[in-house]
Structure 1
Amino acid sequence: MSTLISRNVTLSDRRTSIRLEPEMWDALGEICTRESRSLHDICRQVDRERTQSGLTAGVRVFILSYFRAAATEEGHAAASHGNSAKAPPDP
């Protein structure tokens, strides 16, 4: 039994489906909320910018890239979390 969840998305000229793990759908939902963009809009962007992989793989790479960028010191500071390297130690 697969743990992948299928959802339909509308690209510029067609409707297609993407199968992702529940955690990936959660992450993509967080990105949509943070960026104030729809799922369809993000998938259209990924579809336009991908060069080799299929749409589903392109979405996974997009999610990974998004959170990797946020995990840098600059990305962390831009998210108003401050510099994690300078955080005080836990008591």
Structure 2
Amino acid sequence: MTTLISRNITLADRRTSIRLEPEMWDALSEICTRERRSLHDICTQIDQERHQSGLTAGVRVFILKYFRDAATEEGHAKALQRRHSRV
């Protein structure tokens, strides 16, 4: 059984909160680190680009798309290049 974790975020000019599973927060944090952007910046982008879903659903879809894009052959090659450039 997974417990949802609620966190406050700032979207451009307003504060709100979203509830996600710990694994989703971990994935979102990893994306922020990889992209060198804040949680607030990424969530603002998601909020601006989503159409009909709620913010929480928009965040989940964003995370899924991000990692699916990275799972392509090109995405794997870029990840491998990044990994080797850090060593």
Give your verdict on TM over 0.5: yes
CA distance in 1, matches of 2:38, 2:18: 15
Q: CA shift at 1:2, angstroms?
A: 6.5
Question: Which residue is 2:71 aligned to?
Answer: 71
Q: CA shift at 1:22, angstroms?
A: 0.1
Moved over 4 A (4+): none
CA distance in 2, matches of 1:19, 1:60: 11
Q: CA shift at 1:78, angstroms?
A: 1.1
CA distance in 1, matches of 2:64, 2:18: 16
The unaligned stretches of length 5 or more in structure 1 are 82-91
Aligned AA for 2:75?
Answer: G
CA distance in 1, matches of 2:31, 2:79: 13
Q: Percent identity?
A: 83
Give the root-mean-square deviation of aligned CA atoms: 1.4
CA distance in 2, matches of 1:62, 1:30: 13
The unaligned stretches of length 5 or more in structure 2 are 82-87
Higher RCO (CA 8 Å, separation ≥ 6 residues): 2
CA distance in 2, matches of 1:75, 1:28: 18
The structure with the larger Rg is 1
